[in-house]
Chain A
Amino acid sequence: MDNNLGIYICSGCDIGKSLNIERLVNTAKDSNKPAVCISHEFLCGPEGVNLIKNDIAEKKINKLVIAACSMRAKQEAFNFDPLTIHTERVNLREHVIWISPPNDNNTQLLAEDYINMGASKAKKAAFPEPLIQDLNKTVLVVGGGVTGLNAAINSAKAGYEVVLVEKKSNLGGFPYSKYKKWETKPPFDKNIWIKEGLDELISQVESSKKIKIYKNSKIKSVSGAPGKFNVEIEPSDKDNAAEVINETVGSIIAATGWKPYEAKKLDYLGYGLTPDILTNIELEELYSELSENGKSENFTVKRKSDGSAVKSIAFIQCAGSRDENHLPYCSTVCCMSSLKEAALIRKNNPDANVYIIYKDIRTPGEYENFYRKMQNDEGIFMVKGSVSDISYDKGSNEIGVKVKDTLFGGDIDLNVEMLVLASGMVPNSGEIEYSQNINLTDGNPPSASGASCPPSIPVSTAQVAKSGLLNLAYRQGKEMPDLAYGFPDSNFICFPYESRRTGIYPAGSVRMPMDTVFSVDDAKGAVLKAIQCIEQTSKGKAVHPRSNDMTYPFFDLPRCTQCKRCTEECPFGAIDEDEKGTPKYNPERCRRCGVCMGACPVRIISFKNYSPDIISSMIKSLYIPEDPVDENYRILVFACENDAYPALDILGLNKINLSSNIRVIPVRCLGSINNVWYADALSKGIDGILLLGCKFGDDYQCHFIKGSELASYRMGNLKETLTRLVLEEERVRQIQLEFTDYMKLPEIVEDFVNKIKSLGPNPYKGF
């Protein structure tokens, strides 16, 4: 490989006014011996860029160091083919001149170090060899409900083949057998039959030539990777001796929907005392029955116990929801559902009184107008309160409801003929088992705000999905990982559609509770992600968050010790293993985060342009002065590229000063930090190491799910090493930082620098 290094130093944006550019150019030349080393006063302009292009063409420069602004700026200007040109962006602007005093020796040293680090990296970086393949582009849709149908039809419309698997004998999902849907527009009195819209959608899907439908079927197993998933489909009915069918697909949309919370668990609300105490689903089924499955609208709602017309009915909202002992979350749709049902009762039984007891009424968006309309109905009475007791009097066939802490300022009793428990949704992501959640957040490094990231969701009944959704033949387990309550997990803050398994996209109410209107959009979103994944993967490019990255980790397997750390720690389950524990890497599943690289104790994993050796070289290229005065302390900062590096940029944008003792090395994720870098840094003479990365825990923001958490965990191993070297463990610190916490950085850094100064300089300096 030709290794022709060109160093281009921009003196625009006041860089030239704050640094001695001539000295900078000379030092860069001496330290790195580049083929070209020049400065230009406006490097991102057409003249500057052309200069570089000419050098590439004529002098065959293929390794560029562009010492100018942040790598996050001017990407269009310095846009060279990554397969043939390595572009290393050295940040002299946001990370040097904007945070340090101008024309100061320490600032100059800072700039020199950054250029040297950049040059070391550029010299050692190799070019990515993307895995370009002809992959399968079929979309598998699991589940034929509203979400699944919309996902299928939209994939077909986009030109992709679809395989649709549905466990029941009919398409339409959960609402199909139910009565009417709720209104989305004023005056809210049309009350459309569910089947009307749904039948049309079903016929569209069934008549599409691009969609292959398997009814009465479920997924036996899924193996492989995006673009080459092998799916085994078997009949839902175990007794059916039909054969297992194999399909190859490119990506998977899991739209398996939801089921109602188990009614038997609502016995504390009277369920079971009388057939007139029913769940909202059972009420819907009652309507379907009374309407003769959609044939007639003119029926009176009758009591199940004696068939008499219902004259008084109460709804209890949040039945078994927002409750630590049952479902801790809100299911979004039950308030609308109850209001709809109340409206229908009022239509069919004009003399009936409807009572709604709620903790809150949640009718998001324009549904608020429907709530207002129902408020005004002369037969509907709503009050906030908590239900303290339900009783049933056999003699009078009446249900007694005791409500306390009502808005009336006290308690009230109600006697009604029918009681509806508005219960919540549970995702169909497998068998759900309730268990105590293990608290992962003890002993964390502090977050930037000082708190230790307590879980923000009650986790006392966090559910662990057991089996049955997709049966992934992955080393890390069959199930889609979930964070809580059985909903497949994604980085909810940044990438709500990505799951922890590349190429598999949960959509609809299996992803989070939602109504059918939202499900339609959710399906479309999942389709776009599914298509994006197939297309990106076939070009060798990664999906979120390192979109378009064409590098892959290389495993030097002969040196592998089968410790299984990489196979266990990969956040996306991309690495399977054989019987001996040797990793089997699946490139199509990979998100290029580098967590495996950080895990490997023998350092056999590396990327072409990001490896243990490359970063070690960067560290070794630093100038560590020996004289132990304050300004000579050197703190290495590993900043993750997702939140920490941008936070530093924004700090620079605000021209807030930061200590000149720090040297920032951007990393893909704190999880990709290999422990050898600590050793290299400390033996080089670095006095302290600071890790800045995204927060972890139940409310995590780490863009690679558990990268920063792993970094924190691995530091435990480091402690032993440090003690052996007679170095204090306080010399290494990890901070959890959000992008918006940039204003806390000066304090964080100063605090750490002061701490290091109080410990004294690294005794290994100069060795």
Chain B
Amino acid sequence: MKNTAVKTDNELVKYIKEVGESNFKKCFQCGTCSAVCPLSTEDRPFPRKEMIMAGWGMKEQLISDLDPWLCYYCGECSKNCPRKAEPGELMMSLRRFLISAYDWTGISKLLYKSKYAEYIAILIVALGVLIEWAILFGLHPAAGATLEQAVSPDKIDYFFDWPITVFLGVMLTSFIYNMFRKTVLSDAGVKIPLKLYFTEAWSLMFNFFTQYRYAKCDDSEEKASKKLTEGKYNFWLTHLFLMISYVILFVGIVFFLDWFQDENSLPYLHIILFDYFASIGLIFGTLYFMVKRLTKKIERSKFSHHTDWMFVILLFLTGVSGVILRASIVYNYSVSTIFYIYMVHLMILFPMLVIEVPFSKWSHLAYRPVAIYFANLKEKAKSLNNANTEIS
């Protein structure tokens, strides 16, 4: 750390307090949390330093910190904290803070601070969807029209799916670039050679698709098979199931929308994959997490912010309405019934996408694997730099 005239950012301290229930100011830096954390290493210890940085509102240090994304809230730190300062919850609060910090629009900050702002934002988007739908398809299908005529999949693609994909892509990419600037470029002590970006890219893909670090959250010495039977991998596997289902569905509605609107109910592969696997995954996953949040038995589910609930509820409702929609198609309901269900489904789905993906919790899907990637880059670059200086 360089010499800097420290100015405590009292507003930041307040903000971190608002977006979580951590008592981080109680921390007296004993270091027990970092010692018991299974994911923290000697070179990258956490969450101890984050506790005091948050306590002093050290904005620059916190914004450039990748560690909150490396934490998977196993809660061991909170369990062992002698002050009940909730370090695990602080890392969660910091993730919320970072989401609003990478977002240069300022929208996330508002949504995180105020639950009413979030409700209103969702309503606005839902209303927007309704209006767009009305313009494109009217408020009721024409008499005698088929589903394809009443709701053209092409129009859905052109006027809903593609625009939203582009919008989300642009926003997220810009936020990720912001993250890159703040966490990698800002660290003048580390120069990353270009080829590392390619050689380390596999870690980005790997972590994105497996969330493998969840498995490392328990660093006890038992065999993996034993841990599996003891249920220690349950959270990870459920999350993996949910996430893969989501990706499958997303790919589906963007590229294979006509299959969804097709009343073909024979068990073709795509039907098994999209209809059964993904729907079950989405609904089961979200239900599992909602139950965990309600029963509050494990550390990471003890505290719930309004953004947590909104995310999981919207996803759940998206899944349920999607299943109902598909069922209504397969079981040949009347076109107007399908029409309205479809409309409602989009009025849930799009707010979920617009609000959650760039401006709220969904973004962790991007930030987490990217953070691991950046962390690997910096580590490799440091060891290369050291090797070079040794040689020279």
* A interface residues with partner B (beta carbon < 8 Å): 353, 355, 361, 372, 375-379, 381, 383-384, 400, 402, 407-415
Let me know if B58 and A408 touch, CB within 8 A: yes
Q: Given the complex, which residues of B lie within 8 Å of A409, measured CB to CB? A: 1, 49
A-B CB contact pairs (8 Å), 23 listed: A353-B8, A355-B8, A361-B28, A372-B26, A375-B25, A376-B23, A376-B25, A376-B26, A377-B25, A378-B10, A378-B17, A381-B8, A381-B56, A384-B29, A402-B3, A409-B1, A409-B49, A410-B3, A411-B1, A411-B3, A412-B1, A412-B3, A413-B5
Let me know if B52 and A413 touch, CB within 8 A: no
Q: Mark B2-35, 1 if CB is under 8 A from A, else 0.
A: 1111101010011001000001011011000000
Q: A383-B56, A384-B29, A407-B52 are in contact. Are A412 and B6 (CB under 8 A)?
A: yes
Q: Given the complex, which residues of B lie within 8 Å of A377, measured CB to CB? A: 25
Let me know if A378 and B8 touch, CB within 8 A: no
Minimum CB–CB distance for B3 against chain A, Å? 5
Let me know if A353 and B10 touch, CB within 8 A: yes
Q: Which of A402, A412, A413 has the most CB of B within 10 A?
A: A412
A384-B14 Cα distance, complex, nearest whole Å: 22
Q: Given the complex, which residues of A lie within 8 Å of B52, measured CB to CB? A: 383, 407-408
A271-B53 Cα distance, complex, nearest whole Å: 30
Q: Given the complex, which residues of B lie within 8 Å of A412, measured CB to CB? A: 1, 3-4, 6
Let me know if B56 and A379 touch, CB within 8 A: no
Minimum CB–CB distance for A358 against chain B, Å? 11
Q: Which of B5, B58, B83 has the most CB of A within 10 A?
A: B5
Q: Does B55 contact A (CB under 8 A)?
A: yes
Minimum CB–CB distance for B7 against chain A, Å? 8
Interface residues of B in 172-213 (CB under 8 A from A): none
Q: Which residue of B lies closest to A413 (CB)?
A: B5
Minimum CB–CB distance for B118 against chain A, Å? 25
Within 8 Å by CB of B28, from A375, A381, A402, A408, lies A375
Minimum CB–CB distance for B198 against chain A, Å? 32
Let me know if B6 and A413 touch, CB within 8 A: yes
Q: Given the complex, which residues of B lie within 8 Å of A353, measured CB to CB? A: 8, 10
A415-B56 Cα distance, complex, nearest whole Å: 15
A410-B2 Cα distance, complex, nearest whole Å: 7
Minimum CB–CB distance for B10 against chain A, Å? 7
Minimum CB–CB distance for A402 against chain B, Å? 8
Minimum CB–CB distance for A356 against chain B, Å? 12
A361-B1 Cα distance, complex, nearest whole Å: 24
Q: Which residue of B lies closest to A376 (CB)?
A: B25
Residue tally, chain B, CB below 8 Å to A? 24
A507-B323 Cα distance, complex, nearest whole Å: 82
Q: Which residue of A lies closest to B1 (CB)?
A: A410
A415-B5 Cα distance, complex, nearest whole Å: 7
Minimum CB–CB distance for B58 against chain A, Å? 7
Q: Given the complex, which residues of A lie within 8 Å of B25, measured CB to CB? A: 375-378
Q: Which of A378, A381, A400 has the most CB of B within 10 A?
A: A381
Q: Given the complex, which residues of B lie within 8 Å of A410, measured CB to CB? A: 1-3
Q: Given the complex, which residues of A lie within 8 Å of B61, measured CB to CB? A: 408
Q: A376-B26, A408-B52 are in contact. Are A413 and B10 (CB under 8 A)?
A: no
Q: Which residue of A lies closest to B27 (CB)?
A: A375
Q: Given the complex, which residues of A lie within 8 Å of B13, measured CB to CB? A: 378
Q: Which residue of B lies closest to A351 (CB)?
A: B10
Let me know if A414 and B5 touch, CB within 8 A: yes
Q: Which of B6, B56, B58, B83 has the most CB of A within 10 A?
A: B6
Q: Which residue of B lies closest to A398 (CB)?
A: B5
Minimum CB–CB distance for B34 against chain A, Å? 12
Q: Which of B10, B14, B52 has the most CB of A within 10 A?
A: B52
Q: Which residue of B lies closest to A412 (CB)?
A: B6
Minimum CB–CB distance for B13 against chain A, Å? 6
Q: Which residue of A lies closest to B48 (CB)?
A: A407
A407-B55 Cα distance, complex, nearest whole Å: 12
A111-B206 Cα distance, complex, nearest whole Å: 85
Q: Which of B2, B13, B25, B29 has the most CB of A within 10 A?
A: B25
Q: Given the complex, which residues of A lie within 8 Å of B56, measured CB to CB? A: 381, 383, 408
A383-B27 Cα distance, complex, nearest whole Å: 11
Minimum CB–CB distance for B196 against chain A, Å? 25
Let me know if A413 and B4 touch, CB within 8 A: yes
Let me know if A408 and B26 touch, CB within 8 A: no
Q: Mark B328-366, 1 if CB is under 8 A from A, else 0.
A: 000000000000000000000000000000000000000
Q: Which residue of B lies closest to A355 (CB)?
A: B8
Q: Given the complex, which residues of B lie within 8 Å of A379, measured CB to CB? A: 10
Let me know if A407 and B4 touch, CB within 8 A: no
A321-B11 Cα distance, complex, nearest whole Å: 35
A383-B49 Cα distance, complex, nearest whole Å: 12
A527-B5 Cα distance, complex, nearest whole Å: 54
A381-B51 Cα distance, complex, nearest whole Å: 12
Let me know if B3 and A413 touch, CB within 8 A: yes
Let me know if A375 and B5 touch, CB within 8 A: no
Q: Given the complex, which residues of A lie within 8 Å of B3, measured CB to CB? A: 402, 410-413
Minimum CB–CB distance for B47 against chain A, Å? 13
A199-B272 Cα distance, complex, nearest whole Å: 87
Minimum CB–CB distance for B138 against chain A, Å? 55
A493-B13 Cα distance, complex, nearest whole Å: 47
Within 8 Å by CB of B1, from A355, A400, A408, lies A408
Q: Given the complex, which residues of A lie within 8 Å of B8, measured CB to CB? A: 353, 355, 381
Q: Which residue of A lies closest to B23 (CB)?
A: A376
Q: Given the complex, which residues of A lie within 8 Å of B83, measured CB to CB? A: 372
Q: Which residue of B lies closest to A400 (CB)?
A: B5
Q: A381-B55, A408-B52 are in contact. Are A375 and B4 (CB under 8 A)?
A: no
Interface residues of B in 76-129 (CB under 8 A from A): 83
Q: Given the complex, which residues of A lie within 8 Å of B17, measured CB to CB? A: 378
Q: Given the complex, which residues of B lie within 8 Å of A402, measured CB to CB? A: 3
Q: Which residue of B lies closest to A414 (CB)?
A: B6
A413-B5 Cα distance, complex, nearest whole Å: 4
Minimum CB–CB distance for A244 against chain B, Å? 56
Q: Given the complex, which residues of A lie within 8 Å of B10, measured CB to CB? A: 353, 378-379
A376-B17 Cα distance, complex, nearest whole Å: 11
Q: Given the complex, which residues of B lie within 8 Å of A372, measured CB to CB? A: 26, 83
Q: Mark B39-59, 1 if CB is under 8 A from A, else 0.
A: 000000000010011011010
Minimum CB–CB distance for B51 against chain A, Å? 9
Q: Given the complex, which residues of A lie within 8 Å of B55, measured CB to CB? A: 381
Q: A372-B26, A384-B29 are in contact. Are A408 and B53 (CB under 8 A)?
A: yes
A561-B55 Cα distance, complex, nearest whole Å: 75
For the complex with contacts A410-B3, A413-B5, A414-B5, 13 further pairs of A-B residues with Cβ separation under 8 Å are A361-B28, A375-B26, A375-B28, A377-B25, A378-B14, A400-B5, A407-B49, A408-B49, A408-B53, A408-B56, A408-B61, A413-B3, A413-B4
Minimum CB–CB distance for A380 against chain B, Å? 8
A402-B4 Cα distance, complex, nearest whole Å: 10
Q: Given the complex, which residues of A lie within 8 Å of B29, measured CB to CB? A: 384, 407
A383-B6 Cα distance, complex, nearest whole Å: 12
A383-B52 Cα distance, complex, nearest whole Å: 8
Q: Which residue of B lies closest to A411 (CB)?
A: B3
Minimum CB–CB distance for B189 against chain A, Å? 12
A142-B58 Cα distance, complex, nearest whole Å: 53
A757-B326 Cα distance, complex, nearest whole Å: 103
A702-B83 Cα distance, complex, nearest whole Å: 42
A402-B3 Cα distance, complex, nearest whole Å: 9
- Give the 10 A-B CB pairs with smallest separation, nearest first: A410-B1, A413-B5, A412-B6, A407-B29, A376-B25, A381-B56, A375-B25, A411-B3, A381-B8, A415-B5
Q: Mark B304-342, 1 if CB is under 8 A from A, else 0.
A: 000000000000000000000000000000000000000
Q: Which residue of B lies closest to A377 (CB)?
A: B25
Q: Which residue of A lies closest to B52 (CB)?
A: A407
Minimum CB–CB distance for B213 against chain A, Å? 24
Q: Which residue of B lies closest to A383 (CB)?
A: B52
Q: Given the complex, which residues of B lie within 8 Å of A408, measured CB to CB? A: 1, 49, 52-53, 56, 58, 61
Q: Given the complex, which residues of B lie within 8 Å of A415, measured CB to CB? A: 5
A377-B8 Cα distance, complex, nearest whole Å: 14
Minimum CB–CB distance for A257 against chain B, Å? 32
Minimum CB–CB distance for A390 against chain B, Å? 14
